[in-house]
Amino acid sequence: MRDLVAETDVRPGQLVLPLFVREGLSEPAPIASMPGVVQHTRESMRKAVADAAALGLGGVMLFGVPEHKDAVGSGATDPDGVLSVAIADVVAEVGDALVVMSDLCLDEFTDHGHCGVLDAAGGVDNDTTLQRYADMALVHAEAGVHQVGPSGMMDGQVAAVRQALDGGGHSGAGIVAYAAKYASAFYGPFRDAVASSLVGDRRTYQQDPANVREALREVRADVAEGADVVLVKPALGYLDVVRAVREAVDVPVAAYNVSGEYAMVEAAAQRGWIDRERAILEVLIGIRRAGADIVFTYWAAEAAGLLAERG
Ligand code: PBG
């Protein structure tokens, strides 16, 4: 009876699995603050994506962790850089069995850990950064990525990336725009995952948790600039934002169930304070019910199994 009247569902095809690949690893390395998640080698990354495709997941979002970082994030636009080669590996492995997405941001590649290049005063230089993103988008597209995910919250980033892709003969490559990305404490474990060197915070370019109208303005700008999907992040503290975005635009809406949200459930479950599997499925249905068409979650592969078991 409950199935018959259920208003919301979660299917593996609606889930996107974020994955990390680290340069120079000889075997996968666990991430302490994200139990069950690893930094992959090129080889184990390829296998993880093949498994994701076999499970029927909708997509994967790839993050690269380079061995060397510098002020401008040179590794981000190196065709032989860790993320570029991982994209090519993965696309060769799965073709278009699922959507291969790549993080388009400099923070994993800069020695100061910011999402863009800095100006003389040490602030992030929005417009110089746009050129870096445009170059990075082309490198990813040449490697065969299906959708790039600009996640740095620079103004005008979607337009810059769209123009670069179209001008470079990659009009078929899509853009998942991190449109409403808040300056959040819940990215903490992710900074371990990508060995981030950030000092300070990202409050000059990410959004204030107090604001929702501002999120809608950011989202509308991204849609006008050519976003194919708009993403809200984090998810759980921002379900009202997901709902408001869903009602404001007609492109697909994604929500990112971030590292800190993952870690909270895992930590409570390890202490026996919460029923882990029920909590995972409840988190995912809650995000879907709020209006997300697509959910980015580190539990994507496991959830696909749980959903199959529970019919
Ligand atoms: C930026 C980026 C971040 C996350 C995804 N892309 C970190 C940040 O903005 O500080 C966080 C994801 C998570 O916490 O799970 N490249």
From ligand 1's centre to the CA of 152, what distance in Å? 9
Q: Is 233 a catalytic residue?
A: yes
State the pTM of this model. Answer: 0.97
From ligand 1's centre to the CA of 183, what distance in Å? 10
Active-site position among 69, 112, 170, 181: 181
Domain CATH code at residue 227: 3.20.20.70
Helices (H), the chain: 2-5, 42-54, 82-94, 126-142, 157-167, 188-193, 213-225, 239-248, 259-270, 276-290, 300-309
Tens digit of pLDDT at every position of the chain (311 positions): 999 999 999 999 999 999 999 999 999 999 999 999 999 999 999 999 999 999 999 999 999 999 999 999 999 999 999 999 999 999 999 999 999 999 999 999 999 999 999 999 999 999 999 999 999 999 999 999 999 999 999 999 999 999 999 999 999 999 999 999 999 999 999 988 888 878 888 888 999 999 999 999 999 999 999 999 999 999 999 999 999 999 999 999 999 999 999 999 999 999 999 999 999 999 999 999 999 999 999 999 999 999 999 76
Nearest residue (by CA) to ligand 1, atom 16, is 105
DSSP reduced 3-state for 187? helix
Give me the number of domains the chain comprises: 1
Q: Is 47 a catalytic residue?
A: no
Q: 200: which 2 tokens?
A: 């300070």
Nearest residue (by CA) to ligand 1, atom 6, is 151
Task: Show the domain range for 140.
Answer: 2-309
